[in-house]
């Protein structure tokens, strides 16, 4: 009878760790075009030295899988969008939201200040807000399992 108890403890541990990992902004997120509602890509968000970073892991739009940054200047000009860092050095605030000065849009070759947070009603939704002066736009990204 020791084994069922051990199995139960292991199961409870695994469930609690998966619940904890689901409560973080870090991981893989599917971007959704807020104008068309269509999926655009997969962004991998990770933590390095206490700051938030993110890069394009995959492009989901048909025919754009091998896109390059044609509007970019400098070292990003004609570089592949897959692998490109689009979130740079975000810092966590006391309210649990992450803020930073560089959310890069490779399609427009523009950088925005940003705020990123989990939807308090659904931790599998990430709110991503880009600011240009006092104007902003918010997208909802969806967690990708695995």
CATH 2.40.128.520 corresponds to the domain 24-144: yes
User: Using CA atoms, how far apart are residues 146 and 13, in angstroms rounded to an integer?
Assistant: 18
Query: Which 3 state secondary structure label does DSSP give 9?
Result: helix
Q: What is the pLDDT of residue 5?
A: 58
Q: What is the pLDDT of residue 38?
A: 92
Q: How many CA atoms lie within 13 A of 4 on its CB side?
A: 1
DSSP code, position 68: B
Q: Where along the chain do its domains lie?
A: 24-144
User: Using CA atoms, how far apart are residues 93 and 118, in angstroms rounded to an integer?
Assistant: 13
Instruction: Give the pLDDT means over successive 10-residue stretches in the chain (146 positions).
Output: 50 44 87 89 97 98 95 94 98 95 95 97 96 93 91
**What radius of gyration, in Å, describes the C-alpha atoms of the chain?**
18
């Amino acid at each position: 009878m020791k084994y069922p108890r051990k199995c139960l403890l292991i199961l409870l541990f695994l469930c609690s760790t998966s619940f904890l990992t689901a409560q973080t902004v870090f991981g893989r997120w599917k971007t959704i075009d807020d104008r068309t509602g269509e999926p655009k890509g997969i962004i991998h968000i990770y933590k390095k030295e206490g700051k938030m970073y993110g890069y394009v892991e995959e492009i989901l739009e048909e025919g754009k899988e091998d896109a390059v940054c044609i509007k970019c200047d400098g070292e990003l000009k004609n570089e592949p969008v897959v692998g490109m860092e689009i979130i740079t050095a975000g810092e966590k605030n006391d309210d649990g939201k992450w803020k930073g000065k560089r959310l890069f849009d490779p399609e427009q070759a523009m950088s925005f200040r940003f705020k990123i947070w989990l939807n308090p009603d659904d931790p599998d939704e990430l709110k991503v807000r880009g600011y240009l002066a006092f104007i902003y736009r918010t997208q909802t990204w969806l967690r990708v399992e695995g």
